Amino acid sequence: MMARLENKVAIVTGAASGFGEGMARRFAEEGAKVVVADLNAKGAERVASEIGGGAIGLGVDVTLRAEVDEMVYAAMQAFGRVDLMVNNAGFTHRSGSLTDVDEETFDLVADVNMKAVYFSTLAVVPIMERQGGGSILTTASVTGLRPEAGLTWFNASKGWAITATKSMALELAPKGIRVNCLCPVFGETGMLANFRGADTPELRGRLSAEIPLGRLSTPLDVANAALWLASDEAAFITGVALEVDGGRGI
């Protein structure tokens, strides 16, 4: 039985840890050739080495168009095509008053969560169009659908990602390019400390109590959702903001 991503090439940003690492590993298990991209070059190389099978690890600053272009070029040089572009790299300000977020932090949230999607789209759409299709997937957040107090500028950036996903899906559908996004709830990743300033059992307990299924999301939860959207099983799915939230949004 053919693996679900056999003969496909995926680029995953923010893939040295957390949700991105989970996606890169899961895609590879299902037959994909994977470009593991992250600002942490050593981490990206580690994940690619552990995946094996021709995966490559790249140090990439997604806020710089030249580095995003180089990332896509490296994928083409290594594998000859790009079937799946996963915009997973993300950044947040710490939860607190919206007026306490300085301009430098605001700009970084906007550059990583928004502008990087623009850069990767410019780079991969012409390739996917020549190939006859492809898939673009962005990691948004449940807070882009239902904002959380204290995370105003992060919420807004993820709301932008959701709207961009839907608009891109409309425009790119005639080219055979599907565009979707994932909206995870807080997860068991290093980002939790970035959001809250700490990652403690007590904090995890409080957050888990808000989720009907009783736990935080895991990289595997998000990776399995991404796998389905990336696979041909979701060939008729585009413009979707898929909630991976254990029922929190109900």
Concatenate the DSSP letters of all residues of 83-123 into one string.
-EEEE-----PPSS-GGGS-HHHHHHHHIIIIIHHHHHHHH
Confidence tier at 1 by pLDDT (50, 70, 90): low
Report the range of poorest mean pLDDT among 63-72, 140-149, 189-198, 221-230. Answer: 189-198
Residue 177: strand pairing partners: 134
Handedness of CA 193, 149, 241, 76 (dihedral sign): negative
Rounded distance between C-alpha atoms, residue 155 and residue 30, angstroms: 32
Q: Which residue has the higher pLDDT, 217 or 227?
A: 227
Does residue 153 surpass a pLDDT of 70?
yes
pLDDT > 90 in the chain, percent: 83
Domains of the chain: 9-243 (3.40.50.720)
Cα 87 to Cα 228: distance, rounded to the nearest angstrom: 16
What's the mean pLDDT when you consider all of the chain? 93
- Return the pLDDT at 191: 63
Both tokens of residue 64?
């710089």
> Structure tokens of 173?
């559908």
Using an 8 Å Cβ cutoff, are 180 and 169 in contact? yes
* Single-letter residue type at 8: K
The DSSP code for 248 is T
For residue 2, what pLDDT band results from cuts at 50, 70 and 90?
Answer: confident
pLDDT digits (tens, 9 = 90+) for 88-123: 999 999 889 999 999 999 999 999 999 999 999 999
Task: Report, in this order, helix, strand and coil percent for the chain, each rounded to 5.
Answer: 50, 15, 35
Q: Is residue 70 over pLDDT 90? A: yes
**Lowest mean pLDDT: which of 9-18, 38-47, 182-191, 227-236?**
182-191
At 190 the pLDDT is 62
Q: Are 117 and 68 in contact (CB under 8 A)?
A: no
Q: How much is the pLDDT for 171?
A: 98
The confidence score (pLDDT) of residue 250 equals 83
Q: Which of 15-24, 114-123, 178-187 has the lowest mean pLDDT?
A: 178-187
Residue pair 184/245 in contact (Cβ under 8 Å)? The answer is: yes
Whole-number pLDDT of residue 7? 94
So what's the pLDDT on residue 197?
A: 60
